Structure 1
């Protein structure tokens, strides 16, 4: 039995991952901004076998609340084995191109909020001397594409931040894991055309669960996205900039 903290548990991937933790009888501290959905998920996880389940309502962009939420979680659970940060939005690229205010809002949600949470979480785990920080980034952060470069820039910043944090904490007993999913069929992507590259939140959750057991540093989910993104990163910029991606 482990103690798990999940920020953004109402996201499809986080909820599916929480269900796997619940089956193990883990104690959970769940955070989301939608109180109604949060309580529905918490009740469901209790039925599925979770141990103690605590909840808190926090908005990702409410930066001044981030330190307190981790203090509350450590008070409730006494220690934390895993901190999963899974919140996020999918920006409207055209709106962000037209309005810097919109761009800033989306970058704060998908980038700066994650960095704020990680800063407080890392300090708490270092003091504890153990634990895993697991963050859902995206393959979109591996290279900027005209169709979603605002989202990609935020996720790319998060991935680089995690890389530095992993380097900083390597001797502290704290493990840092970056999760890079590809295309996932969730309510956030319901308007997209689907093909064989798409997968389900449940399969991503299974990949996260297994990667946590193996203490992976960086994991692409499903695995073939590591190969796809390796190829995309190799395309020379003079060619890449002409592609309609």
Structure 2
């Protein structure tokens, strides 16, 4: 089991990451939170310090920086390590859901979606992996999506970014395994977050950020290679991936 005593969260103000941070703070963990918006970050840190009984901010700190911008990665990672010392876990949790119709005929929108949801995470993983490898323990988790399991007309640009991230994580997992470092691909399904506000969220497949956060922490502790959140998405995506292409192309998914 991986300890989660010293944890850095990139994209900490996202709904899922905030739920993870609240659970960790309540357990007494030392946290370093990185997020783009300074006001939202300060609000989150204040809440976490109350939950973690850390009024002086000795255990729970953060840095306002955009994790989707690789130019910020070196300073953010250095600050996290200075605060935490050896890092037990790093969670990458930022992203955005692009408008599919806009991406269909906009090179710029497509490139931006791939940067935010894919290549920026790969850049950060490239930055932090050598330090985990050198310390010889720890766990790296990155939030992907079930959308990356198969290209579908409804969101294939977003799915492309998450599929790329999943493949990168698979290779990184293979590379870091001899060093004793776990790499976890986290694949949420439908989650009731601000990113999905425009969707009909009344069905049984929707999960709350807190329930997904609980699953994330379980997967990080156990060092699971791939965690579908909730679990039933593994079954759903296995079926979707198995549909023959001649049939699949006629489905509206």
1:60-113: per-residue Cα shift (whole Å, max 9, x none)? 332122122112211121111010000000000111112101110111000000
Residue from 189, 206, 221 that aligns with 1:182: 189
Q: Report what 1:67 is aligned to.
A: 74
Correspondence 1:17 to 2:25: no
Alignment: residue pair count:
245
Counterparts of 1:94 and 1:119 in 2: how far apart (Å)? Answer: 32
Q: Report what 2:116 is aligned to.
A: 109
Counterparts of 1:9 and 1:142 in 2: how far apart (Å)? Answer: 25
Give the RMSD, CA atoms, in angstroms.
Answer: 1.1
Q: Report what 1:48 is aligned to.
A: 51
Correspondence 1:140 to 2:153: no
Residue from 20, 32, 35 that aligns with 2:35: 32
Structure 2 gaps, min length 5: none
Correspondence 1:206 to 2:209: no
Correspondence 1:232 to 2:235: no
SS in structure 2 of the partner of residue 31 of structure 1:
strand
SS in structure 2 of the partner of residue 170 of structure 1:
helix
Correspondence 1:192 to 2:192: no
Counterparts of 1:50 and 1:171 in 2: how far apart (Å)? Answer: 37
1:210-245: per-residue Cα shift (whole Å, max 9, x none)? 122222111101100000000000000111111111
Structure 1 gaps, min length 5: none
SS in structure 2 of the partner of residue 171 of structure 1:
helix
Does the CA-based 8 Å contact 2:34-2:67 persist in structure 1? no
Residue from 86, 92, 95 that aligns with 1:85: 92
Shift of 1:50: 6.0
Shift of 1:175: 0.8
Instruction: Give the alignment's TM-score, normalised by structure 1.
Output: 0.97
SS in structure 2 of the partner of residue 176 of structure 1:
strand
SS in structure 1 of the partner of residue 179 of structure 2:
coil
Residue from 228, 241, 248 that aligns with 1:220: 228
Instruction: Give the alignment's TM-score, normalised by structure 2.
Output: 0.94
Counterparts of 1:12 and 1:96 in 2: how far apart (Å)? Answer: 24
Q: Report what 2:161 is aligned to.
A: 154
SS in structure 2 of the partner of residue 54 of structure 1:
strand
